[in-house]
Amino acid sequence: MNTINETNFKFPNLKSVYKGKVREVYNINDELLVMIATDRLSAFDVILPRQIPFKGQILNQIATKMMNETAAIVPNWLMANPDENVAVGHLCEPFKVEMVIRGYLSGHAAREYKLGKRVLCGVAMAEGLKENDQFPPETSGPIITPSTKAENGEHDEDISREDILANGIVSEEDYVVLEDYTRKLFQRGTEIAAKRGLILVDTKYEFGKTKEGKIVLIDEIHTPDSSRYFYADGYQERQDNGEAQKQLSKEFVRQWLIENGFQGKENQQIPAMSDDKVIEISNRYIELYEQITGEVFVKASTDNVLERIEKNVNSFLESKQ
């Protein structure tokens, strides 16, 4: 089965190419960005050796759907989707922080909490919480715990609001907008998830500025790579019984890596991923898509997938001339 590991397109008026962990972004004439979702899989800020069939299509289509469902409350960069793996939008200057928001004590926050930490990114976490408990809405929750946006090969780092402002990473005027947009998006994402019988546990948002100075949402939103979901049915019962939560996220990949001795730390070996494991992960991503969107996933043809993408993007760019 053909997967997309990397692309090397020469689109008309191409100015530059940025290759992230999962997406590759083509700058067209300093006006448009063509974002291609590959099938690469990353965890603990490391790109794993095997690609996952249909993963790029899944992430691109979830992000597109969620951008459309939130555009009325927060402006975003998206213009069109000329291909199942492609989003095209306005050129933006990204802010150098990722806005992470957490409604529940899970994932990284839970791991820090277990180490005895009660402050994350300058935000206090209540005492007496169990893993996967909701942050008490009447006191602190949801909490915003930003991280620096790492360059290739580096790890994202937790950072506080105070340090972001003190170091001039984002101006206070802009940061107030980022916080406001983050809370509004999380609230809308929570409402969308509830309709699907899900709980939006935590997620991250990225923002940028257009040439005109407008702050907009960029990149992905509410995908299983950027978000964690629990099944609402039985959530409280599992918490009361001290059981693990049923969840929809990339956490199952992280747990498999941890069980096989890998957490992205120095001198750790990435475990070998069998064909069966690759297919299992692909099927889990399809399950995630269908649960999150409430729609049946339709696999795009993977025959000559790079030719397909190049043709569709070129046709779109020609239509814009």
Residue 114 lies in a domain: yes
Residue 163 lies in a domain: yes
Domain that holds residue 151: 97-223
Residue 89 lies in a domain: no
Digits of tens for pLDDT over the chain (321 positions)?
A: 789 999 999 999 999 999 988 999 999 999 999 999 999 999 888 899 999 999 999 999 999 999 999 999 999 999 999 999 999 999 999 999 999 999 999 989 999 999 999 999 999 999 999 999 999 987 677 999 999 976 654 567 999 999 999 999 999 999 999 999 999 999 999 999 999 999 999 999 999 999 999 999 998 899 888 899 999 999 999 999 999 998 887 878 988 999 999 988 888 999 999 999 999 999 989 988 999 999 999 999 999 999 999 999 999 999 987
Residue 198 lies in a domain: yes
* Amino acid found at 199: I
Residue 250 lies in a domain: no
Residue 242 lies in a domain: no
Residue 279 lies in a domain: no
Residue 81 lies in a domain: no
CA distance 39 to 50: 9
CA distance 84 to 213: 30
**pLDDT for the residue 151:** 62
Q: Are 245 and 132 in contact (CB under 8 A)?
A: yes
**pLDDT for the residue 300:** 96
The dihedral sign for the CA sequence 86, 90, 92, 94: negative
**pLDDT for the residue 248:** 80
Provide the CATH number for the domain around residue 132. 3.30.470.20
**pLDDT for the residue 155:** 63
Number of domains in the chain: 1
CA distance 197 to 233: 7
